[in-house]
Amino acid sequence: MSENTPVHRTRNIGFIAHIDAGKTTVTERVLYFAGRIYKIGGVDEGTTTMDWMVQEKERGITITSAATTLSWGDCTINVIDTPGHVDFTAEVERSLRVLDGGVVIFDAVAGVEPQSETVWRQADKYDVPRICFVNKMDRVGADYLRTIDSMVHRLGANPVAIQIPIGSEDSFRGVVDLIEEKSYVFSDDKAGTFNEGPVPEELIGEFRDHRDAMVEKIAETDEGLIIKYLEDQEISKEEIKSALRRATLEYRLVPVLCGTALRSKGIQPLLDAVCSYLPSPADVQAVSGKDYRTGEEVTREPRDDAPLAAIAFKTVSDPFIGRLVYIRVYSGRCETGSTVFNPTTGRRERLGRLVRMHADRREEVSGVGAGDIAAAVGLRGTATGDTICDEREAVVLETITFPEPVVSVAIEPKAKADQDKLDDAIAKLTDEDPTFKTLYDNETGQTIISGMGELHLEILTDRMRREYRVEGNIGRPRVAFRETIRGTARAEGRLVRQTGGHGQYGHVWIEIEPLEKGAGVVFKSAIRGGAIPQEFIRPVEDGVREALNTGPLSGYPIVDVKVVLVDGSYHEVDSSAMAFQIAGSMAAKAAVSRAGVILLEPVMRLEVVTPGGFLGDVLGDLGRRRANIRNIEGLRDIQSVRALVPLGESFGYAGSLRSLTQGRANYTMEFASYEAAPESTLAA
């Protein structure tokens, strides 16, 4: 693979979707038809290239995002296959942060599913242009047009079909390209061979209707084309493609294709669409950041001759070569053996080696340029979200934010001698996974580990056992509650201590008020006239935040509050940063007590898909779990129930649902928000 691909011929894409929509199967076929692998693996057999972890092979799901690079036509495509399970949403988050385009995969039977909505919102957050691939067109109940319709109603998207299927369910055999006005009929031998021909006679009428609708939709996004369309002038295929590419890059349209990856149908046209309609690094807005020295906003153009600017988006502990740091280069070049600067830590680091990743395999390269994705060896002090750059023109790029964990368990080694091994395993896993948090409980002598869900923690503890040889006793899952305030309050914090020599003096007044959900903790200084010197403002904030880490009800962090420093006084000799930090902490604790505190519990967004005959039992069980039923939809004999359910009531739900429905129902769950918990929860 050429290391000198022009930036406009590079594509950085990710496959994103709900669990079981077929991302890894699509990726496997993409690698095969691009000549990157020579044998197709299967998810069920645990032989796919991108699902390389033992846990992925055993469970048949993607747990960690895996990267690879391939060539198609004259394009070099960097591909990231992301997980679909909500517990591993951080992998999607950090992948979308560094990708230029996305391929969203939908199940032709299920349509838009809950995690489809989540990844769509994440792509919106990072302004990632995308195309859609409706997979599993050969399954019973597959409906291409219904899936497109669900994109409109559930995602608020503006999809435009650029293909229509030839046949459906077990008779699906190919696609009609509405732009090229051709048909592609695939063989049934899974080899992906196809015959190119005219539109089948029986589809002529349907083809004309869909092509007219497509041309009209594309023309609406282009002033020149809409005039041609209204005047009934001929619009060329090149004009349609060019306008569709512009509309896709501007997030105005989402091209939709279809196929069945398991039977190797429709993959080559999908790769053509990736090259034709998804952006190169040169097509997206130049990355912006803050100048390391002045704090002013600066941009970095995607050129090899520009100053180096790259972001670390993933770290992995490789058993053979040590710590690997995945980087996305936005501008400039990284060369093996060069020295780079990390403005986050203020340290220089040496790039020992650079490798292109092919899942868990490595291919050494001498350097990577603007727009590339690679992994570096030797960046010991660089963590996920850090910038690496040219020290002479240092820039700090926007870091990556991750959701807070919602489930905790206690873990302790079975043998005291294993405590150091446990600490080492936790340190390495925490470095890899930003949503994995730990703390040590001095009262019980236990280590508390927190993650995004039961499956997340189960995988992590399994990795400790297999990879790090640590056997541990695991406690029951615990909910990560939060606390917040009911009203507003004003309080004083005053520290006056006089001993021999210098004393300690710090005096502050603060006001505290509740904020909307998800706002976190906001601190603001309203000091005027020098009542408190500027150098003591930050210590006051540190004291306030430290106090809010432990709420008065149950010791959980206080969130969704605004604290304003309004007044105070200082002593020219006795005042110090420590004194004001303590005063800020005292004031925050007093203000919280006066404002009134309530407990918040994490509430999950739940969707259950069940045969209609079990609907009553499912609803009854949800009622016992304090669920708030939001919507019930039916399609044939299948009922879909959407509800909000407290996380604490959801533990063990998989087993209950299985027994209630004879194993015929399934569910998905993701974090929604923190809501006020009933008093009975506090008593428990």
What is the pLDDT at residue 501? Answer: 64
Q: What token pair was written down for 207?
A: 């083809």
Average pLDDT over residues 457-475: 83
Q: Kindly give, in sequence order, each residue whose CB lies less than 8 Å from that of residue 467, ignoring residues fewer than 6 positions away.
A: 319, 425
Which residue did the predictor score with more confidence, 111 or 253?
Answer: 253
Flag whether pLDDT at 1 surpasses 50: no
Residue 267, Cβ neighbours under 10 Å: how many? 25
Sign for the CA dihedral angle at 53, 57, 63, 69 comes to: positive
Distance from the Cα of residue 141 to its chain's centroid: 30
SS3 123: helix
Nearest-angstrom CA–CA distance, 100 and 8: 12
pLDDT, tens digit (0-9, with 9 covering 90-100), for 566-602: 999 998 888 899 999 999 999 999 999 999 999 998 8
Q: What is the pLDDT of residue 657?
A: 84
Query: What value does the mean pLDDT take over residues 316-321?
Result: 75
656: confidence class by pLDDT, cuts 50, 70, 90: confident
Q: Read off the pLDDT of each residue in 472-499 and give the average, rounded to a whole number.
A: 86
Segments in 34-108 forming alpha helices (H): 54-59, 89-98
Nearest to 554 by CA among 475, 481, 476: 481
Could you tell me if 558 and 484 are in contact, meaning their C-beta atoms sit under 8 angstroms apart? yes
- DSSP strand pairing (182-186 vs 361-365): unpaired
| CA separation for the pair 656, 662 (Å, rounded) | 10
Asked if 278 and 100 touch (Cβ cutoff 8 Å), the reply is yes
pLDDT at 2: 43
At 271-285, the pLDDT tens digits run 999 999 999 998 888
**Span 351-367, mean pLDDT?**
81
Strand partners, 604: 645, 671
For position 3, what pLDDT does the model report? Answer: 54
In this prediction, what percent of the chain has a pLDDT beyond 90?
30
**Residue that is written with structure tokens 């016992």 in the block:** 624
Q: What is the pLDDT of residue 574?
A: 84
Average the pLDDT over 242-262 and give the result.
93
Q: How many CA atoms lie within 13 A of 109 on its CB side?
A: 13
Residue 491: pLDDT band (50, 70, 90) is: very high
Q: How confident is the model at residue 130 (pLDDT cuts 50, 70, 90)?
A: very high
C-alpha distances in Å from residue 286, one per residue of 72, 281, 294, 301, 372: 25, 8, 20, 5, 14
User: Per-residue pLDDT for 396 more than 80?
Assistant: yes
**Whether pLDDT at 4 is above 80:** no
Q: State mean pLDDT over 463-483.
A: 82
Work out the average pLDDT over 381-406: 87
pLDDT for res 445 = 65
Tell me the per-residue pLDDT of 78-94, one tens digit each, with 9 for 90 and over.
888 887 666 677 778 88
Q: How confident is the model at residue 413 (pLDDT cuts 50, 70, 90)?
A: confident
pTM, whole model, 2 decimals? Answer: 0.76
Rounded to the nearest 10°, the torsion over CA 576, 581, 586, 592 is 150
Tokens of 574: 């006795």
Mean residue pLDDT of the chain comes to 86
Chain centre to alpha carbon of residue 51 = 18
- Of 299-308, 399-408, 609-618, least confident by mean pLDDT is 399-408
CA distance 668 to 643: 11
Percent share of the chain, pLDDT over 70: 93
Alpha-helical runs (H) found in 279-401: none
Q: Which of 134-143, 213-222, 411-420, 521-530 comes out lowest in average pLDDT?
A: 411-420
Tell me the β-bridge partners of 208.
none
* Mean pLDDT confidence for 332-345: 89
Q: Is the pLDDT of residue 177 over 90?
A: yes
- Examine the pLDDT at 132 and tell me if it is beyond 80: yes
Overall average pLDDT of the 354-369 stretch: 82
pLDDT winner (highest mean) among 54-68, 114-128, 439-453, 543-557? 543-557
